[in-house]
């Protein structure tokens, strides 16, 4: 689903840009997404006010836009110079994708304080777990939980310099089932009793959602392992050296 003007302006607000930069971005968005090639400074100022980007004076905004060197003026209408479009796009390209939903604290499957500040790819997976759980896409949540555990187990073996124990004869990492066996064996790690139990449960739940064509996960399937999963992730993050 394409980003609309309101969502685009929310993204601009998060970036903390200047009013002139925001006005140039809105002028680009208007041209590219609505087909309106030119706007007056008053229209841009009104758009900024309506979407929480301050309360610019239209006269001063128009002057700032002309002095920026990025616009062409025809009467009271302003349009972006063709040579400036690439620069504007490079500054706002990250705002053109729909933003993930804001997940309330009581809807987080795994609390933010467990995984925030770890590693970017770990955070992205954890965000997807919380997002899919909040949006009631429980099969997707199950599969992403399984994926996070697999990532963290491999990270733990690498951090402990035991990665050879987690690889097959070809040097490839073992499938999750065998990886769990090694984790719980003499070449693995000392995990708590509950952690050991939920480790296999998460794999089973993820496997059912990914491979059983008649199975559809429901919230209760996940809620029964929710606290254990939080404990498991926290313990594995310590073993990865990021806690």
CATH code: domain of residue 43? 1.10.10
Using an 8 Å Cβ cutoff, are 236 and 157 in contact?
no
pLDDT tens-digit readout, 6-40: 888 888 888 888 999 999 999 998 888 777 778 99
Q: Are residues 111 and 33 in the same domain?
A: no
Q: Are residues 219 and 159 in the same domain?
A: yes
* 98 — pLDDT class (breaks 50, 70, 90): low
CATH code: domain of residue 191? 1.20.120
Planar angle of CA 58, 60, 61, nearest 5 degrees? 60
Q: Are residues 75 and 122 in the same domain?
A: no
How many CB atoms are located within 10 Å of the residue 16 CB?
A: 8
Q: How far apart are CA 207 and CA 120, in angstroms?
A: 25
pLDDT of residue 97: 67
pLDDT of residue 66: 93
Place of tokens 């997404």: 33
Output 45 or 101, whichever has higher pLDDT. Answer: 45
Structural element, H or E, at residue 80: strand 77-80
Planar angle of CA 18, 78, 9, nearest 5 degrees? 40
Domain carrying residue 161 = 105-239
Mean pLDDT, rounded, for 40-68: 94
Q: Are residues 86 and 114 in the same domain?
A: no
Q: Are residues 54 and 158 in the same domain?
A: no
Q: Is residue 17 part of a domain?
A: yes
Q: Are residues 91 and 158 in the same domain?
A: no
Please state the pTM of the whole predicted model: 0.66
Which tokens sit at 119? 């590693």
Place of tokens 């995990």: 191
Domain boundary among 67, 95, 123: 95
Residue 228's contacts (CB-CB under 8 Å, 6 or more residues apart) are 194, 195, 197, 198, 201
Using an 8 Å Cβ cutoff, are 2 and 46 in contact?
no
Residue 3's contacts (CB-CB under 8 Å, 6 or more residues apart) are 11, 95, 96, 97, 98, 99
Q: Is residue 100 part of a domain?
A: no
Strand-pair category, 39-40 with 77-80: antiparallel
Domain boundary among 62, 95, 128: 95
Q: Are residues 167 and 200 in the same domain?
A: yes
Which residues on adjacent β-strands are paired with residue 78? 39, 73
pLDDT tens-digit readout, 229-238: 999 999 999 9
Q: Are residues 75 and 112 in the same domain?
A: no
Q: Are residues 229 and 117 in the same domain?
A: yes
Q: Are residues 198 and 220 in the same domain?
A: yes
pLDDT tens-digit readout, 73-90: 999 999 999 999 888 888
How many domains does the structure of the chain reveal? 2
Q: Are residues 56 and 157 in the same domain?
A: no
pLDDT of residue 64: 95
Q: Are residues 198 and 79 in the same domain?
A: no
Domain boundary among 95, 129, 159: 95
Q: Is residue 190 part of a domain?
A: yes
Q: How far apart are CA 87 and CA 149, in angstroms?
A: 40
Q: How far apart are CA 158 and CA 148, in angstroms?
A: 15
Query: Which of 7-11, 160-164, 190-194 is modeled with the greatest confidence?
Result: 160-164
Strand order from edge to edge, sheet including 77-80: 39-40, 77-80, 71-74
């Amino acid at each position: 689903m394409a980003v609309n003007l309101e969502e685009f302006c929310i993204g601009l607000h998060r970036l903390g840009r200047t009013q002139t930069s925001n006005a140039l971005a809105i002028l680009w968005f208007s041209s590219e997404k609505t087909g309106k090639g030119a706007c007056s400074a008053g229209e841009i100022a009104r758009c900024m006010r309506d979407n929480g980007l301050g309360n610019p004076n239209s006269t001063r905004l128009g002057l700032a836009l002309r002095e920026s060197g990025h616009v062409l003026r025809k009467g009271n209408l302003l349009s972006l110079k063709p040579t400036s479009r690439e620069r504007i796009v490079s500054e706002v390209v990250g705002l053109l994708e729909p933003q993930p939903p804001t997940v309330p604290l009581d809807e987080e499957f795994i609390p933010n304080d467990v995984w925030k500040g770890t590693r970017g790819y770990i955070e992205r997976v954890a965000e997807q777990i919380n997002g899919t759980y909040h949006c009631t896409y429980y099969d997707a949540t199950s599969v992403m939980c399984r994926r996070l555990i697999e990532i963290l187990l491999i990270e733990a073996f690498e951090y402990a310099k035991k990665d050879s124990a987690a690889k097959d004869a070809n040097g490839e990492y073992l499938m999750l089932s065998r990886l769990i066996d090694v984790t719980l064996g003499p070449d693995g790690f000392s995990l708590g009793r509950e952690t050991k139990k939920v480790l296999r449960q998460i794999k089973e739940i993820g496997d059912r959602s990914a491979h059983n064509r008649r199975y559809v996960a429901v919230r209760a399937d996940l809620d029964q392992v929710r606290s254990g999963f939080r404990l498991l992730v926290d313990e594995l993050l310590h073993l990865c050296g990021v806690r």
